[in-house]
Amino acid sequence: MAQGKQRTAKVPGRPVWAEVSIPALTHNLRAIRSCVNPPNEKREVPRLVLSIVKGNGYGHGGPAVARILEKAGSDWFGVTSVSEGAEIRKAGVRKPTLVLTSFWPGEEASLIKHHLTPVVHRCEQLESLNRAAARVARRKKVSFHLKIDTGMNRLGIAPSDVECFARQLAKCSQLHLGGVLTHFASSEAFAPAAHGQQTREQEERFYLALERLRSLGVDPGIVHLANSAAIATRPETWADMVRPGVILYGYHPSYDPPEQRAEAERRLPLKPVMSLRTRIINVRNIPAGSTVGYGGKFVAQRPSRIAVLAAGYGDGVHRSLSCKGSVLVCGKIAPIVGIVSMDVSMIDVTDFADAEVGSVVTIYGIDGPHTHPANLAARGIGTVTSDLLCAVSQRVPRFYLP
């Protein structure tokens, strides 16, 4: 485990770190691009890829990940807010960047200054954006994308508001519509139930709204619908650009029915990008009947050897993994015992003679020939992979390995 020693030497006092594989990340981007641009399809313009780097790059480090992906050829980036967009601009990223949840009143000037493209999801946003464009951008038009709500019922104008939007846009001489999008609620669902039909219904509503927009003389620009699950399983949704999220970082979302996963993984093979690691900082022997951790939730059924890890929920070890999760140590799986604390967690290493203070432990990720994937840990506690990845906190140093 010399690699682990080399990494922790740079962060004395915090023997917990994350390793981000640059080759795995670039592999996933290229696999996605190849998937949505099959060689047998005759398109004049290849489909674009908008890499989602919101949520600090799904916990991988948003600015650093964006730099890597830009170098690897990502066409666009997607962030949640103006502040996230500004951070990747400060990191030197220059490719077009879409602010997915738009802007708050007062942020328009910063948005334009950092050359960010907002998503407009309410017609009344056009007026304030147009005023800011006239004041800040002057003669140069400011581009934006329009979001149409087709069934998610979160953000976006209703299809019935397309006429209102077109009228408002006609009054905004400083704005340019660069794209139109929607977001799927259940693209991973194929079961013969209502949610299994929802994606098709959303797609139909979207294209009807797009047709109406065109009939009003409005060019929609780049059309994009497909999120991670749709990229892997629904070619009919790929349109002009796709928006990969969790699949960029090496994990397919959950599918319904689960059998759909094998087909998705065959069509789009991915590599996990991040490995979250820590070290054992104490080992103690306890007799049968002893408890471990807060509340005594774990009771030893035999004389046990308990190892304490230098990582807790303050680092990214999800508290829901208490007494349920597991980690990879010495090439084998060890169970998490007791309640995960903010700064430490405990594992049972009774059957691991070679586990000792200083041993490297992989919370999830890859350790040599062994893999402990984050998606399995997530499914075990009833959450999504993104929840675990985004939980890796700022106090955990990331190392970007070539």
pLDDT digits (tens, 9 = 90+) for 375-387: 999 999 999 999 9
- Asked whether residue 3 is domain-assigned, the answer is no
Q: Are strands 274-286 and 16-21 parallel, antiparallel or unpaired?
A: antiparallel
What is the three-class DSSP state of 216? coil
Confidence (pLDDT) at 13: 52
Tokens representing 45 are 């313009």
The CATH number assigned to the domain holding 367 equals 2.40.37.10
Residues 49 and 191 in one domain: yes
Confidence (pLDDT) at 2: 34
Q: pTM for this structure?
A: 0.92
pLDDT in tens, 334-358: 999 999 999 999 999 999 999 999 9
Cβ neighbours for 215, distance < 8 A, ≥ 6 positions apart: none
Interior/surface letters 184-207, b for 16+ CB within 10 angstroms, e for the rest: bbbbbbbeeeeeeebbeebbebbe
Residues 246 and 333 in one domain: no
Residues 31 and 107 in one domain: yes
Residues 211 and 279 in one domain: no
Alpha-carbon dihedral of residues 64, 68, 71, 72, nearest 10 degrees? Answer: -160
Residues 168 and 301 in one domain: no
Confidence (pLDDT) at 221: 97
Q: How many CB atoms lie within 10 A of CB 26?
A: 18
Q: Which of 135, 119, 125 is nearest to 177 (CA)?
A: 119
Residue 126: C-alpha distances to residues 69, 82, 144, 373 (Å): 31, 17, 9, 44
Q: Which of 59, 42, 52 is nearest to 85 (CA)?
A: 52
- Looking up tokens 């996933």 gives 28
Q: What is the rounded CA–CA span in Å between residue 51 and residue 97?
A: 9
Of 235, 267, 299, the one marking the end of a domain is 267
Residues 279 and 234 in one domain: no
Return per-residue pLDDT of the chain as tens, 402 residues. 333 333 333 444 569 999 999 999 999 999 999 999 999 888 889 999 999 999 999 999 999 999 999 999 999 999 999 999 999 999 999 999 999 999 999 999 999 999 999 999 999 999 999 999 999 877 789 999 999 999 999 999 999 999 999 999 999 999 999 999 999 998 998 877 777 789 999 999 999 999 999 999 999 999 999 999 999 999 999 999 999 999 999 999 988 888 888 889 999 999 999 999 999 999 999 999 999 999 999 999 999 999 999 999 999 999 999 999 999 999 999 999 999 999 999 999 999 999 999 999 999 999 989 999 999 999 999 999 999 999 999 999 999 999
Tell me how many domains the chain contains.
2
Residues 255 and 338 in one domain: no
Residues 306 and 365 in one domain: yes
Q: What is the rounded CA–CA span in Å between residue 97 and residue 54?
A: 11
Q: What is the domain range of residue 327? A: 274-401
Q: Do 366 and 4 contact (CB within 8 A), yes or no?
A: no
- Asked whether residue 16 is domain-assigned, the answer is no
212 sits in which H/E element: helix 194-215
What residues are labeled active site? 54, 294
